[in-house]
Amino acid sequence: MQVVAADDDEAAAAADEEEEDGEEEEDGEEDVLRTELMHAAAFGDSRTVAALLAAPGTNVNAADRFGRTVLMHAAEAGDAAMVQVLLAAPGIDADAKDNRGFIANYIAFLNGNEEAAALLRAHHGR
């Protein structure tokens, strides 16, 4: 998979979409179903992922309502190239745990995604 550099307008538009994906709960906390970055990574949309990663303020460790991060969504999808791109993102936490206590490596393993799991294992603890 090739990551395509995005121009500033695309990055800004992608960042705006990222902010609109959550729903406000009654107590004022955001209930994130899935961010645009999570959706793009899960479906192998490298152009959108590149734009969002380049956008200022993108939280690469944002979690959905199940505590799952973008890296976990990519690991579940088994997209090793996307996992590799995300692992190179500044600040990515490969050891983040979801609400069940699972890390991305284990999620890849559970879904039979051996190549993604191997990349995540090699990155463990960095």
Alpha helices in 25-79 (DSSP H): 36-42, 46-54, 70-77
Provide the CA 14 distance to its chain's centre, in angstroms.
14
Among 77, 82, 24, 33, smallest CA distance to 53 is for 82
The predicted-structure confidence for 1-54, as pLDDT tens digits, reads as follows 333 344 445 444 444 444 444 443 344 445 567 889 999 999 999 999 999 999
Instruction: Tell me which amino acid residue 13 is.
Output: A
The predicted-structure confidence for 55-111, as pLDDT tens digits, reads as follows 999 999 999 999 999 999 999 999 999 999 999 999 999 999 999 999 999 999 999
Read off the tokens for 52.
């969002």
**Domains of the chain in sequence order:** 8-123 (1.25.40.20)
Read off the tokens for 86.
């995300």
Read off the tokens for 96.
């983040």
